[in-house]
Structure formats: structure tokens, C-alpha cells
Amino acid sequence: MRNRHRANAPGTWYIDTSCTDCSAARTVAPGLIVERDSQSVFARQPETEDELRMAWRARLLCPSASIHTEHKLPQPAGIFPEKLARGVFRLGYNAADAAGAHSFLIHREGGNFMVDGPRWAKPVVDAIAERGGLKGILLTHRDDIGDAKRYAGHFDAQVWIHRADHNRAPFAGNLIEGLEPVKITDDILAIPLPGHTKGSVAYLYGDRCLFTGDSLAWSFEAGDLMAWREFCWFSWREQTKSLKRLLDHRFETVLAGHGGSITLPEDEMRRRLRALVARMEAD
């Protein structure tokens, strides 16, 4: 057995002390996996079929391979890609050099897009190939690139990133400029959101799904939208202005690189975003 953290609930599933506290496991298994002693642990053992799938999802995406079972268990089919909305999937297999950030697949007529990069993994390659390959890769910012370059080369996909973060992804041939939204396709809009990094971008798909990178997320603990001041690398003031500009757009689903993803009625999402901006302005 690996070095099992003592805070894990007794039983088969556990997380070892190599956990880097990236929070990815907690966002796919909220309540089942929690933070204690600056790392993730199992608060209880999975019992239902849904909880077992949550545990497997956390195990497969964990970038530090820190999640284990005391006894070998059969892996259920269809863990990843995980459907989050119509035509939108979480890819799993999170990359360590992207600090465990989530990445996503937009499966659409006219060509599929990946948002940010997972680690290079055959199950991800096969899943994308089965759905028709990749037309493009949309990078939200400099931190969550993962193995995007390898996926781009394998699928001959174009890559987009903001010019301000281009030095971390020089292989990206399509640059987003300034603060104005830019159409990538008829149904995908790039919305620059400087703040977390100077070149942070959100991508709005179909006027319903917003891929936010590390600029905006859902907190399962607080039950609300959130942004991280402690992980704001460029400017909290600019990030506040950026999220305020998001009020010009309507969407019902937030898909975050770090933190939770959530679907709410459009009006509820807008109300919560407005309240978050007000808290940030008062901070």
C-alpha cells in the first residue's frame, strides 16, 4: 500500500500523501473527496453506483496518480469523456504541468474543439478520434496548456491563445488581441478576461456554455460562483473589470479549469455573477 493519508475514511479507497492539493478530485467528487491537512482525502467510502463513478473519475484524472484502492477493482465503462452539457464533455486525464486543470471537448458539426490540454493519454486520443478528431484547440491562458501541442500535431488542429500569453504556447498560430470579443466560429466566441493572467480568455459556445479557465468557477463548498484573489497572477482590479464585462453575455453553464463547473438557469447565473462582481469591487 502507498503512504495512505491518515485522514482518509477507513476502507478500500484512499489518497496517498503525494497529493499536490490541485483540487481536481474534489471538483468531480464533491463531498466524497474533501480537503484536509492541505490535500485531498476520502471523507467517506463510495457506496452508490454514482459515488463509485465519482471515485473512478477522480482516480483517472488525478495528475499525481495519488488515488488508489487497497484491492483491485473493475473499472466501469464510460468514465471519460464525461458529458456535462449538450455536446460538451470533460476529458479527464489532467496534466500535472497544468496544475491539474480540467480540459474539455466541444463535439459539434463543422469540427470539434478542445478547450485547454489534458496530459497525453491513449483513452483521450481514442475518444477524440471516435468523435471525428479535432478542428481546433482553445487555450484559456498560459497555465493550463498541458499537452495541447502534442494533440494539435496529432490531429492537425489549429490553436488559439491571447497574444499576451503566447510566449507559453508559441506553437499557437491564431492570436486573440486586446479586449474585444472575437468570433472563432459562428457558435464560438473568444472573450478576453485579463486578470488571472494578462492573456486570460473565456470561450462562449452556443450562447450557453462558458469555458472560463481560472478566471471564474463554482465553489461546491460555498454553493456560489467564485474567483481566487490568492491565485491572481496579473491584476485583481483587471479581473474584476473582466468579470463585470461578462454581464454583457448570457450563458447557463460555467466550465472551469480549476474549481467546479455548474449549470444554472440563465437569470440565476447572471444574478450570482453580478453579486460576485459586487463582492470583488468591495474587496
- pLDDT tens digits for range 33-64: 999 999 999 999 999 999 999 999 999 999 99
Residues 211 and 87 in one domain: yes
Residues 146 and 97 in one domain: yes
**Last residue in a domain, options 69, 96, 116:** 69
If one counts the domains in the chain, the total is 2
Residues 133 and 195 in one domain: yes
Report if residue 2 sits inside a domain.
Answer: no
Q: Let me know the angle formed at the C-alpha of 142 by 243 and 98, rounded to the nearest 5 degrees.
A: 105
Report if residue 107 sits inside a domain.
Answer: yes
Per-residue pLDDT band for 1 (boundaries 50, 70, 90) equals low
Per-residue b or e along 62-99, where b marks 16 or more CB atoms closer than 10 Å to that residue's CB: bbbebbbeeeeeeeeeebbbbebbebbbbbbbbbeebb
pLDDT at 283 over 80: yes
Report if residue 75 sits inside a domain.
Answer: no
pTM above 0.75, yes or no: yes
Can you name the residues that pair with 232 across neighbouring β-strands?
none
Distances (CA, A) of 93 to 24, 73, 107: 10, 19, 18
Q: Tell me the mean pLDDT in the region 23-41.
A: 97
- pLDDT tens digits for range 64-109: 999 999 999 999 999 999 999 999 999 999 999 999 999 999 999 9
**Last residue in a domain, options 28, 43, 69:** 69
Report if residue 122 sits inside a domain.
Answer: yes
Please tell me the total number of residues recorded for the chain in this structure.
283
Residues 47 and 159 in one domain: no
Residue 223's contacts (CB-CB under 8 Å, 6 or more residues apart) are: none
Residues 98/145, Cβ–Cβ less than 8 Å: yes
Residues 130 and 176 in one domain: yes
**Looking at the chain, which runs of residues are DSSP E strands?**
13-15, 33-36, 39-42, 67-69, 82-85, 88-90, 104-106, 113-115, 136-138, 158-162, 174-176, 182-185, 188-192, 201-205, 209-213, 217-219, 224-226, 253-256, 262-263
| CA-wise closest residue to 141 among 167, 120, 121, 119 | 167
Q: What is the CATH number of the domain that holds 62?
A: 3.30.70.20
Share the mean pLDDT of the chain: 97
Q: Which 8-state DSSP code applies to residue 17?
A: T
- pLDDT of amino acid 45: 98
- The cell for 248 is 454583457
Report if residue 103 sits inside a domain.
Answer: yes
Residues 128 and 240 in one domain: yes
Q: Could you give phi then psi for residue 185, rounded to 5 degrees? A: -140, 180
Report if residue 5 sits inside a domain.
Answer: no
Q: Tell me the mean pLDDT in the region 170-187.
A: 98
- pLDDT of amino acid 98: 97
Residues 60 and 189 in one domain: no
**Domain residue limits at 64:** 13-69
Residues 105 and 154 in one domain: yes
Q: Let me know the angle formed at the C-alpha of 239 by 233 and 240, rounded to the nearest 5 degrees.
A: 140
Name the burial class of residue 100, with classes exposed (0-12), middle (13-18) and buried (19+) by CB atoms within 10 angstroms of its CB.
buried
Gap between the Cα atoms of 32 and 25, Å rounded: 9
Residue 186's contacts (CB-CB under 8 Å, 6 or more residues apart) are: none
Distances (CA, A) of 245 to 86, 192, 242: 25, 10, 5
Residues 191/223, Cβ–Cβ less than 8 Å: no
Residues 194/171, Cβ–Cβ less than 8 Å: no
Report if residue 86 sits inside a domain.
Answer: yes
Other C-beta atoms lying within 10 Å of the C-beta of residue 249: 15
Per-residue pLDDT band for 185 (boundaries 50, 70, 90) equals very high
Residues 150 and 275 in one domain: yes
Report if residue 252 sits inside a domain.
Answer: yes
Q: What is the CATH number of the domain that holds 233?
A: 3.60.15.10
**Last residue in a domain, options 24, 40, 69:** 69
